[in-house]
Amino acid sequence: MTTTADEATRGSATRAVTARPEAPKPSGLVYLGLAGLAVLAFIIFWVTRDSGEILLIPLGFVTLWAPLYPVIGLAVMLLTLLVCYRARVGTMGGFGALAFITMSYWAGSTVNFTLLEIPSRWSNVEPRLRAFLDPNWSYIWTVRDQWLITISMAVVATLIGCAIGLVLAMLASPVSSPNKGVSQAIKAVNSVIRSIPDVGWALLFVAFIGGTAHGLGPMAGVLALLMFNIGIVAKLLSETIDSVNPGPVEAADAAGANLTQRNRLAILPQVLPGFVSYGLYVFELNIRASAALGIVGVGGIGSAIMLQLNRFAFENVAAILIALIVVVLLVDMFSMYIRRKLL
Amino acid sequence: MITFENIDVVYPNGFKGLSNVNLQIDKGEFVAIVGLSGAGKSTLIRTVNGLVPFTSGTLKVGDEVVDPRSKAKLRRLRSRVGMIFQSFNLVTRVSVLNNVLVGRSAETPTWRSLLGWYRAEDKELAFKSLERVGIVDKAYMRASSLSGGQQQRVAIARVLAQDPEVILADEPVASLDPPTAHKVMRDLRRIQQELGITTIVNMHHLDLARSYADRIIGMRAGEVVFDGPVEEATDAVIEEVYQRSLTAEDIVAGDAAAESSAAGDAAARDSATEGAVTERSVPAAKAQD
Ligand SMILES: Nc1ncnc2c1ncn2[C@@H]1O[C@H](COP(=O)(O)OP(=O)(O)O)[C@@H](O)[C@H]1O
Ligand SMILES: [Mg+2]
């Protein structure tokens, strides 16, 4: 080690400094193509524009006009490309920057995002805000049964969801699945499960088996949270399985273990900390989700919030929400404690 | 007895890992396979238990003809053939005992494995195996809390728990420091002699191969280019296998407590030639693979 270092220093003293390699120049042709894309985006923005504001460009003999915002967009796009080119950003990087600007422009103009509405509605907002800031503390205890339902729903959904998620994750990861076909199929099923949000599942189950009105709210809620949890746990855990140390897995294979045995003995212990951690995370999400799920007719604390909102009893809603924050914080602290013990 | 007849291995990417290997390894023999990195030592050893499927030829372990396509047959074969790895391949988060019990998988019903509820006789076998490598007192410790040499002994105990006819070891001491390497090799040698288990060990340290094996097989580019008793594997012969002259990296530093005189000779040679040998051979061993 020391001898080579010595040689290196001596070498640099005698020999002339060798030329440092330059960053490779990105292809100008591709950048020209990207500029073409920018112009294309500009034309699309022009055609689909909402705002009538116009930019006038006097040239002396004739005055050109163009819609104001698309022109600003085009200028920003071209400037970005120029900067990227000069900074020798690779063509994929340039494309990424262009895509980012185009998407922000398009998304912003589509939803007409603006904050101008709020002041004009202040007279409406003010009394409600006042009620909110003066919570009815005594109300918290009145809804204890709803809290109990919420927490029970979260516990049941977490336990069953993690168990099913574990099996699906084992089938989905190519490391632990019986073969590639099973792995691909289960991954597809997982994607479908995850593509429907928790509220979507709740609406579905309320529609199919009945909600609070039929006394089935908690049932629909558990099923909705269950699907939600399966999707998350299966996804996160199968990715954890993808990256386990293959050594013990090979050793179990070499000892003549069958697939189930080797997954249980060589893979499960490796992913157990991650698994528990995902379970705690999902439990937290379930408590949070229960507030939103009440709105679509599922039992628990969410339905209490819904009821009080409909009665304009904002001081009660505020009390529940503050209790919700406290509960979520407690769950968070609890799971952090467990995770620390575990890892 | 293990017999290779015209065994070829072609990897899925078309690379020829073994070509036309013919070998006969008798029951209870201790064979060392030497060769440079990439010579095909691991490939050869892994065809025996089907971790690498051979593509043509006939392979027999005992009376059984190996069929790499039948999963059930492979599992039965693997229960008779234990394997030891360079990186120990323990599940570091669980206890030593549970690692050893992985070796009982083939004889354990799946539901028992799932519950982790092993039969008393399987546990006793695991304890006996740990006793044989001298670390039974560590049975309930986490595998990760053991030293490298101890971890490799747990791996040997895992193999012994299989009650195997054959032990395959792929560079078992390449990640260990020289004294520990000698200790682990002595354990392997003792076990082979006490239990009469056919043992095939890959190594790139010539002195270890000479000290502990009965027979040396030299490999180059997927072919067996030397096969003979230790006495015939002279420096000149091995230089022919390696196609280069021997260097300090081919020899692990000697071990003061070595019982075998050959190991002692190697040690003497090392210290006589150059002081740097000891320092250099350790990182060289770790850099392998
Ligand atoms: N899975 C594989 N696919 C393709 N080539 C492989 C594979 N495994 C090993 N090889 C190649 O086969 C040759 C022999 O490898 P190996 O048996 O591991 O050698 P050794 O153990 O003697 O170092 C090497 O050239 C290696 O690149
Ligand atoms: Mg190898």
Tens-place pLDDT, residues B59-74? 999 989 999 999 999 9
The two three-digit tokens of residue B266, written as one number: 């190697």
In a mutational test of the A interface, the residue from B74, B97, B105 whose CB has the highest number of chain A CBs within 10 Å is: B105
Q: Which of A14-18, B71-75, B78-82, B275-279 is predicted least confidently?
A: B275-279
Chain A contact present for B95, CB below 8 A: no
The two three-digit tokens of residue B212, written as one number: 């502990």
Chain A contact present for B82, CB below 8 A: yes
Share of chain A above pLDDT 90, in %: 34
Instruction: Indicate if the pLDDT at residue B176 is higher than 70.
Output: yes
**What's the half-sphere exposure (Cβ side, CA atoms, 13 Å) at A191?**
5
Number of domains in chain B: 1
Q: Name the one residue in this structure whose structure tokens are 């914080």.
A: A329
Query: What is the average per-residue pLDDT within B175-188?
Result: 94
Average pLDDT, rounded, for chain B:
88
Which string of b and e fits A170-188 if b means at least 16 CB within 10 Å? Answer: bbbbebbbeeeeebeebbe
Work out the minimum CA distance from A264 to partner chain B, whole angstroms.
6
- Higher confidence at residue A26 or residue B46? B46
Q: Are A87 and A23 in contact (CB under 8 A)?
A: no
Sequence-distant (6+) residues with CB within 8 A of B207 are B250, B251, B252, B254, B262, B263, B266
pLDDT of A304 reads 86
Chain B contact present for A28, CB below 8 A: no
Q: How far is the CA of B106 from the centre of ligand 1 (A)?
A: 28
pLDDT of A63 reads 77
Q: What string of H, E and C letters represents the secondary structure of A191-221?
A: HHHHHCCHHHHHHHHHHHHCCHHHCCHHHHH
Query: What is the average per-residue pLDDT within A98-118?
Result: 74
Sequence-distant (6+) residues with CB within 8 A of A252 are A261, A262, A265, A266, B102, B105
Query: What is the average per-residue pLDDT within B228-253?
Result: 88
- Please report, for the domain that includes residue B48, its CATH number: 3.40.50.300
Contacts of the segment B235-238: beta carbons below 8 A, 24+ positions apart: B238/B34, B238/B206
Instruction: Locate the ligand 1 atom nearest the alpha carbon of residue B289 and give its number.
Output: 23
Q: Can you tell me the distance from the alpha carbon of B177 to that of A88, in angstroms, rounded to the nearest whole number?
A: 48
Instruction: Indicate if the pLDDT at residue B273 is higher than 60.
Output: no
Q: Binning pLDDT at 50, 70 and 90, where does residue B156 land?
A: very high
Is position B56 within any domain?
yes
B241: Cα separation from own chain's centroid? 20
Per-residue DSSP letter, B15: -
For ligand 1, atom 10, name the residue with the nearest CA: B17
List CB-based neighbours of ion ligand 2 within 5 Å: B 42
Instruction: Indicate if the pLDDT at residue A57 is higher than 90.
Output: no
Chain A contact present for B236, CB below 8 A: no
Q: Are B30 and B192 in contact (CB under 8 A)?
A: yes
Is position B24 within any domain?
yes
For ligand 1, atom 26, name the residue with the nearest CA: B38
Q: Can you tell me the distance from the alpha carbon of A252 to that of A247, in angstroms, rounded to the nearest whole number?
A: 9
Cβ distance A255 to B114 less than 8 Å, yes or no, reads no
Is position B26 within any domain?
yes
Chain B nearest-CA residue for A266: B91
Q: Can you tell me the distance from the alpha carbon of A317 to that of A314, in angstroms, rounded to the nearest whole number?
A: 5
B190-225 per-position pLDDT tens digit = 999 999 999 999 998 899 999 999 999 999 999 999
Chain A contact present for B118, CB below 8 A: no
Name the helix (H) or strand (E) containing B257. Answer: none
Q: At what angle do helices B178-195 and B148-160 cross, to 10 degrees?
A: 20
pLDDT of A67 reads 77
- What are φ and ψ of residue A219, in 5° steps? -60, -50
Residues of the domain holding B56: 2-89+165-288
Residues of B whose CB is below 8 A from A257: 75, 102, 105-106, 113
Q: Strand B198-202 relative to strand B56-61: parallel, antiparallel, unpaired?
A: unpaired
Burial class of residue B97, CB neighbours in 10 A (0-12, 13-18, 19+)? buried
Chain B contact present for A163, CB below 8 A: no
Closest ligand (CA of B15): 1
Burial class of residue A43, CB neighbours in 10 A (0-12, 13-18, 19+)? exposed
CATH architecture of residue range(s) A138-342: Orthogonal Bundle (1.10)
Chain B contact present for A184, CB below 8 A: no
Q: Are B214 and B29 in contact (CB under 8 A)?
A: yes
Instruction: Locate the ligand 1 atom nearest the alpha carbon of residue B45 and give its number.
Output: 17
Average pLDDT, rounded, for chain A:
85
Chain B contact present for A97, CB below 8 A: no
- Higher confidence at residue B104 or residue A121? B104
Instruction: Indicate if the pLDDT at residue A226 is higher than 50.
Output: yes
Is position B123 within any domain?
no
Q: Which of A48-62, A98-112, A150-164, B143-157 is predicted least confidently?
A: A48-62
The two three-digit tokens of residue A311, written as one number: 């009665």
A65-79 per-position pLDDT tens digit = 777 778 888 898 999
Q: At what angle do helices B178-195 and B276-287 cross, to 10 degrees?
A: 70
Residues of B whose CB is below 8 A from A262: 105
Work out the minimum CA distance from A263 to partner chain B, whole angstroms.
9
Query: What is the average per-residue pLDDT within B124-137?
Result: 95
Query: What is the average per-residue pLDDT within B218-236?
Result: 94
Sequence-distant (6+) residues with CB within 8 A of A85 are A26, A28, A31, A94
Q: Name the one residue in this structure whose structure tokens are 């061993």.
A: B285
Chain B contact present for A269, CB below 8 A: yes
Cβ distance A251 to B158 less than 8 Å, yes or no, reads yes
Q: Can you tell me the distance from the alpha carbon of A293 to that of A200, in angstroms, rounded to the nearest whole number?
A: 9
Q: Which amino acid is at B98?
A: N
Q: Are A248 and A266 in contact (CB under 8 A)?
A: yes
Q: Does B289 contact ligand 1 (Cβ within 6 A)?
A: no
Residues of B whose CB is below 8 A from A163: none
Cβ distance B158 to A255 less than 8 Å, yes or no, reads yes
Residues of A whose CB is below 8 A from B116: 264
Cβ distance A251 to B108 less than 8 Å, yes or no, reads no
Cβ distance A265 to B102 less than 8 Å, yes or no, reads yes
Chain B contact present for A268, CB below 8 A: no
User: 3-class DSSP state for residue A331?
Assistant: helix
The two three-digit tokens of residue B151, written as one number: 């971890």
Q: Are B179 and B255 in contact (CB under 8 A)?
A: yes
Nearest to B174 by CA among B276, B37, B274: B37
Cβ distance A261 to B113 less than 8 Å, yes or no, reads yes
Nearest to A137 by CA among A329, A328, A330, A326: A326
Q: How far is the CA of B16 from the centre of ligand 2 (A)?
A: 15
Is position B154 within any domain?
no
DSSP string, B149-190: HHHHHHHHHHHHTT--SEEEEESTTTTS-HHHHHHHHHHHHH
Burial class of residue B43, CB neighbours in 10 A (0-12, 13-18, 19+)? buried
Q: Name the one residue in this structure whose structure tokens are 């007192």.
A: B137
Residues of A whose CB is below 8 A from B72: none
ipTM of the complex: 0.86
B144: Cα separation from own chain's centroid? 21
Q: Can you tell me the distance from the alpha carbon of B118 to that of A72, in angstroms, rounded to the nearest whole number?
A: 72
Q: Can you tell me the distance from the alpha carbon of A23 to that of A25, in angstroms, rounded to the nearest whole number?
A: 6
Using most ligand atoms within 8 A of CB, pick from B7, B8, B11 the residue to mutate for ligand 1: B11
Is position B104 within any domain?
no
Is position B158 within any domain?
no
Q: Binning pLDDT at 50, 70 and 90, where does residue A125 land?
A: confident
Is position B124 within any domain?
no
Per-residue DSSP letter, A17: P
Closest residue to B102, CB basis, from A247, A251, A258: A251
Q: Binning pLDDT at 50, 70 and 90, where does residue A13 land?
A: low
Q: How far is the CA of B205 from the centre of ligand 2 (A)?
A: 13
Q: Which of A1-15, A86-100, A195-209, A281-295 is predicted least confidently?
A: A1-15
Q: At what angle do helices A28-47 and A68-86 cross, to 10 degrees?
A: 170
Cβ distance B49 to A262 less than 8 Å, yes or no, reads no
Q: Can you tell me the distance from the alpha carbon of A330 to that of A333, in angstroms, rounded to the nearest whole number?
A: 5
